[in-house]
């Protein structure tokens, strides 16, 4: 059974949900996320998984409850079973609803990734367009040449390819720009750029070239300021973690020294539920070491997460 047959079966069962008003926000997120499958197929897959989750969780709760032997004294055997079945149905329904919401969150997560990628690559793409515009090519040629540089401009190049694809279908680059501006997850950066690009392209090559030069400078300045702010924030984070890391190191050093002078720190302590023993000094030293490693790993992750692309 191929994936196409599975999708067609799921669409026949669940695709009707895609047209409901409750999925208006889901449709917007879908356009922003571009998951690679049709909207109806995506919704059908989500609902299929939600029903599987409902059945699995509901059955697990019902069977597990009956098998657990937990009883309510005032209920007879049949009522006990009915109660557990009702609990299973309620928990299964909650699992189904949570799965549908997880599908929405997945689209929002993908849209967020695309938004961040566009924010990182748009300044370079606009700078490249401004260089190309000096040769006075048409707006379609400008977008096509930038769209071809996927490795350099990533999601921005993908957005330009979307403009060209819509233009090929409708015969109008203007229409492609408007659709891309509507569907992009980067409503704060790419959408205004596409709208202004369309407006200046309608005014002629000179107006477009001047706009691209100005926009390239503005985006470069904005990116430089953002990197400066990020660098300052990273310095503060690094200083904070240095201070935090000093404390457990001092505790470990002091414990080691005091352990030599005070025999009580080296007295054995029984570990609960085992036959092993340890000491207060060992607990403090190993606890401090684990704290240092944990905080260091957290600091490394934060620095990597907060550092913008291009900042070294």
Q: What is the 3-state secondary structure (H, E, C) of 193-243?
A: HHHHHHHHHHHCHHHHHHHHHHHHHHHHHHHHHHHHHHHHHHHHHHHHHHH
Burial of 121 (0-12, 13-18, 19+ CB in 10 A): buried
| Assigned token pair, 283 | 């607990």
Q: What tens digit of pLDDT does each residue of 223-240 get? A: 888 777 777 777 777 777
Tokens 């793409």, residue located: 125
**pLDDT confidence of residue 12:** 87
* DSSP classification of residue 271: P
Tokens 């329904």, residue located: 93
**pLDDT confidence of residue 261:** 65
Angle, alpha carbons 110-6-27 (nearest 5°): 35
Which of these, 165, 213, 223, lies nearest to 189 by C-alpha position? 223
Q: Supply φ then ψ for residue 279, to 5 degrees.
A: -130, 160
Give the CA distances from residue 11 to residues 50, 59, 105, 290, in Å, rounded to whole numbers and listed in that order.
14, 25, 21, 51
Low-confidence residues of the chain: pLDDT under 70: 1-3, 70, 72-75, 136, 252, 255, 259-267, 271, 273-275, 303, 305-312
d(CA 126, CA 268): 68
Antiparallel, parallel or unpaired: β 277-279 and 268-270? antiparallel
**pLDDT confidence of residue 74:** 63
**pLDDT confidence of residue 267:** 66
Q: Supply φ then ψ for residue 140, to 5 degrees.
A: -65, -45
**pLDDT confidence of residue 157:** 94
Which of these, 34, 44, 159, lies nearest to 108 by C-alpha position? 34
The answer to whether the beta carbons of residues 253 and 284 sit under 8 Å apart is: no
């Amino acid at each position: 059974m191929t994936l196409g047959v599975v999708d067609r079966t799921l669409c026949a069962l669940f695709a009707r949900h895609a047209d409901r008003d409750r999925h208006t926000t889901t449709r917007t997120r879908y356009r922003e996320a571009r998951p690679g499958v049709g909207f109806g197929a995506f919704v059908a897959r989500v609902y299929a998984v939600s029903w599987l989750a409902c059945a699995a969780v509901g059955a697990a709760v019902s069977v597990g409850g009956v098998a657990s032997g937990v009883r309510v004294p005032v209920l007879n055997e049949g009522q006990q079973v009915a109660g557990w079945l009702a609990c299973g149905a309620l928990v299964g329904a909650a699992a189904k609803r949570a799965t549908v919401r997880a599908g929405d969150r997945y689209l929002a997560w993908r849209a967020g990734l695309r938004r961040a990628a566009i924010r990182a690559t748009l300044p370079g793409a606009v700078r490249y367009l401004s260089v190309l515009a000096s040769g006075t090519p048409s707006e379609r040629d400008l977008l096509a040449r930038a769209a071809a540089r996927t490795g350099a401009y990533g999601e921005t190049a993908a957005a330009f390819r979307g403009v060209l694809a819509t233009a090929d279908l409708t015969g109008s680059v203007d229409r492609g720009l408007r659709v891309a501006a509507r569907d992009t997850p980067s409503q704060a950066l790419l959408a205004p750029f596409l709208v202004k690009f369309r407006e200046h392209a309608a005014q002629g090559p000179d107006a477009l070239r001047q706009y691209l030069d100005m926009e390239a400078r503005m985006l470069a300045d904005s990116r430089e300021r953002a990197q400066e702010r990020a660098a300052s924030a990273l310095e503060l984070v690094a200083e904070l973690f240095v201070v935090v890391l000093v404390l457990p190191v001092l505790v470990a050093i002091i414990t080691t020294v005091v352990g030599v002078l005070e025999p009580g720190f080296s007295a054995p302590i029984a570990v609960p539920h085992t036959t092993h023993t340890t000491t207060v000094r060992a607990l403090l030293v190993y606890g401090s070491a684990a704290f240092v490693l944990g905080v260091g790993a957290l600091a490394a992750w934060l620095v990597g997460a907060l550092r913008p692309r291009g900042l070294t």
